[in-house]
Structure 1
Amino acid sequence: MKDIHQHKLLILDFGSQYTQLIARRVREIGVYCEIYSYDVAIEHIKSFAAKGIILSGGPESVNESECVRAPECVFELGVPVLGICYGMQTMVHQFGGKVASSDKREFGYAKIELKTTSVLYNGIPDVQDVWMSHGDKVVELGEHFEVIAASENAPIAAMAHKCQPFFGVQYHPEVTHSAYGKELLENFAFKICGCEARWNPASIIEDAVNKIRKQVGEDEVILGLSGGVDSSVVAALLHKAIGDQLTCVFVDTGLLRLHEGDQVMQTFAENMHVKVIRVNAESRFFEKLNSNSDPEQKRKLIGTLFVDIFNEESSKLKRAKWLAQGTIYPDVIESAGSATGKAHVIKSHHNVGGLPEDMKLALIEPLRELFKDEVRKVGIELGLPYRMVYRHPFPGPGLGVRILGQVKKEYADILRQADAIYMQELEKSGWYDKVSQAFTVFLPVKSVGVMGDQRKYDYVVALRAVETIDFMTARWAHLPYELIGHISNRIVNEVKGISRVVYDVTGKPPGTIEWE
């Protein structure tokens, strides 16, 4: 078996909002990569043994007195380097060139034209649309570099070192708005760095199965099965690796979607022949959450109770030593800042920041380095049903973080009925597969309404739908007004306890996809 991590690129993060997207694009073309901070220890950069290095964009200016720089070793390792936006600017600055503030900042579409041939642009048209996002620009290259592309406002939009395989682009090839960004990254990874495309679903599965078997040995593993995409793929992956050594614990928290408990049991126990234990713990979760309204506290309480239940169930298994989880890369990023520690903590995920320190079971997280779309591709490769794999994401804490403030059974019952209507209408209209994630949020406020000739004073729910590729950023979905109106009418008329429906038009950023 070929090592899928051997042919890899290293991305040094200077704080760009697009750094994670660079990693996604590199993986999409079949090359493994990791993200380190620009100021990581030199030993880590050397020991990573990358076939090439990408310097990300960032918010800084190289003209500031304490500007951040790429480690000098980057240019001494004998591997190709690609600087993107700020990454290009710091490269020029460190090689004696000049960067200045631009009179005309470029944010958005721009057209660049190639000025000379370069392997970086092999097979790419001479004129192309790209996505710019910069205030500073390179004004002098110095003696080491030459111009290979220009735009109207950036005469040096791309450059190449005259002797070394060092390249820079002022724009962002990683965003979909840059027409030939994928081809540029392919040229850098394959033609310049000499990487092989080893990162694909089949290879990821083979690698994960081998690692799981080696890590687990003869021990038994418990998986917290929620029925969501991530835990479902982990269940299939672990079952392929260790078979009956896996026991799935499905905790019916009372915070699930309508009829979800029965559906999960039917799918896994009856259809996939995976060993599943169902634990009815609704009363325990509502009792635990009854006096807490803080989002962070709710996540941590839910995480703690989950682990308590897993520990209880593990004591019944003689060799149970592992707790498997469907943790994926965005969970880790949002709970611990960025992969480099340069971003702010947004929220603690119940299976990352919410776990207690005194756990009895060791963690096994086969999907920890994967993005959501990679998880889905692995699920399809494992033979899971399309509808299960491409079901909209559902948070581990369930409706506990879709009920704002205090969580009560009454609220959960109202919310799951409203959400079921929302999902039914999205399916019927064809919009379910057009949006990346949709759900209903229960707001703990009441609004006056009129039902017939009677005054109605009941709760408010918010509908949320977003479109995204990587779940790191998202835009609100522009559902047709007629559809939103029809869904609203059904919810208000059919669900007792709701008098008003609103629609969320907040993107990510500034909001998060979930409300809590």
Structure 2
Amino acid sequence: MAEKIIILDFGSQVTQLIARRVRELQVYCEIHPYNHIPEIDESVKGIILSGSPCSVREEDSPRINLAAFGDLPILGICYGAQLLAYLGGGSVEASQHREYGRAHLKSVRNSILFQDVSANSQVWMSHGDTIMELPAEYEVIGSTESVRVAAFANPSKPVFGIQFHPEVTHSTEGKQILKNFVVGVCGCSASWTSDSFVETTVADLKKKIGNDKVVLGLSGGVDSSVAAVLLHKAIGQNLYCIFVDNGLLRKGEFEEVLESYKSMGLNVKGVDSKKRFYDALAGLSDPESKRKAIGKTFIDVFDHEAHLIEGVKWLGQGTIYPDVIESVSVKGPSATIKSHHNVGGLPDFMKLKVVEPLNTLFKDEVRLVGKTLGIDQKILGRHPFPGPGLAIRILGDITAEKVDILQKVDAIFINGLKSEGLYDQVWQAGAILLPVQSVGVMGDERTYEKVVALRAVTSLDGMTADWCHLPYDFLGKISNEIINKVKGVNRVVYDISSKPPATIEWE
């Protein structure tokens, strides 16, 4: 990349929102844990320090060496601002009460950080500590009614701190403040677009792969499809696509996906591995155990298929940035939310190098790249579907019977969304088979059968999500159809949990 902003993550739940806002400004950025700072080369134009649940007053709170960044521009947000003040010798103390919610900037001094920001601009506060005294080299450039040091700057260096969160939508001009930093202060050109990404990535892939052969697993989803077309654009027929039927796909998906790729010029082979996956999953109920079993089986299948292709050296994957972020924690492996079967290294026996052309993109950016590549909207508009498939939507152990039930339920739900014109209003939807049974009455008989939960969320990139407020009439119609048509189900519930605190998938 020609230029980028580095965001150091101190553990805030909304660090990824900083990246999203910077990307929306057409400036490339990367998130890195504070304790794994990347090499600071000429491409790095500025540093943003994120918020954190920690207090700088704690001995074991996250710290960094500011000298490592030289004269680069720095913007500290919330904890990041407190850290700048604390490391410089300022005073940070516990607030009398937690300052959380909307506030308005007052007494704003003339500063490039607040250029084109209106007076009395609304900002969002969320902190338990307050900066009481600044180091001598800093001056206050913004206050609110209750926070004297809401923003500060070093008059002789491009270093800024803001106590509020510009990345959240509640800070109504937060995006402008971030633009003032990354474009005005850091001098970024705001030229990172889907067109430039395709051009740069294809050139990099050609250089990286050369005349080598690549095998890639297709799923029919957005990520693997865009990754495949990018690779195909770079290396042509040296890309070998494999679509595996793991027995955990949606109803009829294997045949539909193979058909959809016929007109795309891709070299695709379908592999029926249902039995292999069912055998690997037999008796497993723990979510992580199921994910790992599926990941290992995928690797085994690809290893076998790769050996059938003479001279293949690379495994292509559709890993995207949220996969990478959720698999890395500033607190170490123990705090990882969940493992991703397509993130990380491969066993030595496989002897394939990994190429992940989308691992710096959020989901909506992947779709924009797909549009630039001319991929059919039917593929680009598809809801995300988890790599482990229905295995993590069947709570408990996996059997062919359970898969059959969930496939039928899921098909009724998804087809209903499409027929009612609701599909494109939903970011992701699916059904979950619960490991409980429910008493019911069907006809004149008592039943004791399975319960399914329907899940539909709205989101931008999957990092955060809200439950979708589907019409009650629609939910009632779908529930009735599922109970009448799917033998073995007598109760349907709707999941109204948001992320956080819940995840989109149940496992």
Q: Say yes or no: TM over 0.5.
A: yes
Please say if residues 335 and 345 of structure 1, whose CA atoms lie closer than 8 Å, have aligned partners that are also in contact: yes
Structure 1 residue 182 corresponds to structure 2 residue 175: yes
Q: 1:495 aligns with which of 472, 486, 489?
A: 486
Structure 2: how far apart are the matches of 1:105 and 1:193? 32
Structure 1 residue 334 corresponds to structure 2 residue 326: yes
CA displacement at 1:356 relative to structure 2: 4.0
Structure 1 residue 86 corresponds to structure 2 residue 79: yes
Please say if residues 131 and 173 of structure 1, whose CA atoms lie closer than 8 Å, have aligned partners that are also in contact: yes
Q: 2:504 aligns with which of 481, 491, 513?
A: 513
Q: 2:376 aligns with which of 374, 381, 385?
A: 385
1:452-502 Cα shifts (integer Å, max 9, x gaps): 212222211111112222312222223233322221111111111211111
Structure 2: how far apart are the matches of 1:283 and 1:221? 26
The equivalent residue for 2:308 is 316
What one-letter code is carried by the residue in structure 2 that aligns with 1:383? Answer: G
Please say if residues 324 and 364 of structure 1, whose CA atoms lie closer than 8 Å, have aligned partners that are also in contact: yes
Structure 1 residue 292 corresponds to structure 2 residue 284: yes
What one-letter code is carried by the residue in structure 2 that aligns with 1:22? Answer: I
The equivalent residue for 1:267 is 260
SS at match of 2:335: coil
Structure 1 residues 68 and 443, CA gap change in structure 2 (3 angstroms): closer
Please say if residues 123 and 164 of structure 2, whose CA atoms lie closer than 8 Å, have aligned partners that are also in contact: yes
What one-letter code is carried by the residue in structure 2 that aligns with 1:470? Answer: D
Structure 1 residue 148 corresponds to structure 2 residue 141: yes
Structure 1: how far apart are the matches of 2:248 and 2:61? 48
Structure 1: how far apart are the matches of 2:300 and 2:34? 40
1:196-240 Cα shifts (integer Å, max 9, x gaps): 123211111112111221222212111111111111111111111
TM-score, normalised to structure 2, is 0.95
Structure 1 residue 504 corresponds to structure 2 residue 498: no
Please say if residues 443 and 460 of structure 1, whose CA atoms lie closer than 8 Å, have aligned partners that are also in contact: yes
Structure 1 residues 353 and 482, CA gap change in structure 2 (3 angstroms): farther
The equivalent residue for 1:133 is 126
Structure 1 residue 50 corresponds to structure 2 residue 41: no
Alignment of 1:75-474 (within 5 A): 77-269=70-262, 271-337=263-329, 341=332, 344-352=335-343, 356-474=347-465
SS at match of 1:113: coil
1:154-174 Cα shifts (integer Å, max 9, x gaps): 122111222221111111111
Structure 1: how far apart are the matches of 2:464 and 2:485? 34
Please say if residues 304 and 355 of structure 1, whose CA atoms lie closer than 8 Å, have aligned partners that are also in contact: no
SS at match of 2:231: helix
What one-letter code is carried by the residue in structure 1 that aligns with 2:119? Answer: D
1:77-136 Cα shifts (integer Å, max 9, x gaps): 112111100111111222332222212322222222352221111111111121111011
Please say if residues 56 and 86 of structure 1, whose CA atoms lie closer than 8 Å, have aligned partners that are also in contact: yes
Please say if residues 249 and 390 of structure 2, whose CA atoms lie closer than 8 Å, have aligned partners that are also in contact: yes
TM-score, normalised to structure 1, is 0.93
SS at match of 1:57: coil
Counting matched residue pairs gives 507
SS at match of 1:265: helix
What one-letter code is carried by the residue in structure 2 that aligns with 1:61? Answer: S
Structure 2: how far apart are the matches of 1:146 and 1:124? 19
What one-letter code is carried by the residue in structure 1 that aligns with 2:278? Answer: F
CA displacement at 1:370 relative to structure 2: 1.5
CA displacement at 1:24 relative to structure 2: 2.0
Q: 1:61 aligns with which of 47, 55, 59?
A: 55
The equivalent residue for 1:483 is 474
Structure 1 residues 65 and 258, CA gap change in structure 2 (3 angstroms): closer
Please say if residues 348 and 354 of structure 1, whose CA atoms lie closer than 8 Å, have aligned partners that are also in contact: no
Structure 1 residues 266 and 26, CA gap change in structure 2 (3 angstroms): same
Structure 2: how far apart are the matches of 1:396 and 1:27? 26
What one-letter code is carried by the residue in structure 1 that aligns with 2:151? Answer: A
Unaligned runs of 5+ in 2: none
Structure 1: how far apart are the matches of 2:404 and 2:288? 23
Unaligned runs of 5+ in 1: none
Please say if residues 212 and 312 of structure 2, whose CA atoms lie closer than 8 Å, have aligned partners that are also in contact: yes
Structure 1 residues 268 and 485, CA gap change in structure 2 (3 angstroms): same
Structure 1: how far apart are the matches of 2:71 and 2:218? 46
Structure 1: how far apart are the matches of 2:294 and 2:463? 24
Please say if residues 92 and 130 of structure 2, whose CA atoms lie closer than 8 Å, have aligned partners that are also in contact: yes
SS at match of 1:127: coil
